[in-house]
Chain A
Amino acid sequence: MADVNRGNRPLSPFMLGKYYRFQISSLTSILHRITGVAMGGAALLVVWWFLAAATGPAAFARADWVLTSWLGHLVLIGALWALFYHLLNGIRHLVWDAGHGFDLETAARTGKGALIGSAVLTLLTVIIVAMG
């Protein structure tokens, strides 16, 4: 009953890079995490911008200047790509949860679709928003 080996079991290594051949499924998997965490950072900026707008014109001007600055645009366009990638790959995960698309060929194809699709959607959105 007592677990004599507790705390002394082998741990699984971090699989990317050294131990694991590069493949699209590992790339799409880690990107899902990275984009999710990164959007948490972007969410801070978005909430700050809304709070500033609720506070008044001076506070809003400051927040809006930061978000629409050169660096702000870079961060927000990065977050936009993260959103589209996480959205497309998230739908891929939901389809997997329903039990479909697990064979290697389909998984590789939908993975590429999420990568390329997110880049295309980001570009389209930037164009649409820039044109008004």
Chain B
Amino acid sequence: MSGNPAVIALLDLAQLDTEAGHREAAGASLERGLRIEPRNAWLWHELAQLRLAQGQYAQAISLAQKSISLAGRERRLLALDWRVIGNARVAQGSSSEAEQAFKLATEFEQ
């Protein structure tokens, strides 16, 4: 996810905070990571996941789109991003858009 031990350390920290239910702190750690590696698509994805878990669906979608824009050909990540978008769309009640997102996710999982 990153070759930079500093970023890995922050991802670990965010993970611990998330598990302990400290989502705000987890978000702050991910943002710290993004300051070091602003183009790391995995970090954007993690932030999208976090916002999804916090119920901030519009942000989850935007952040996943941001991750997609930086993901290049990393199909595994693209699939995960589209899953976030799909889940956020479901929560927003737009089922057709959700379906489309899940379809894309499945394609990238192939």
Q: Do A and B bind each other?
A: no
Interface residues of A (CB under 8 A from B): none
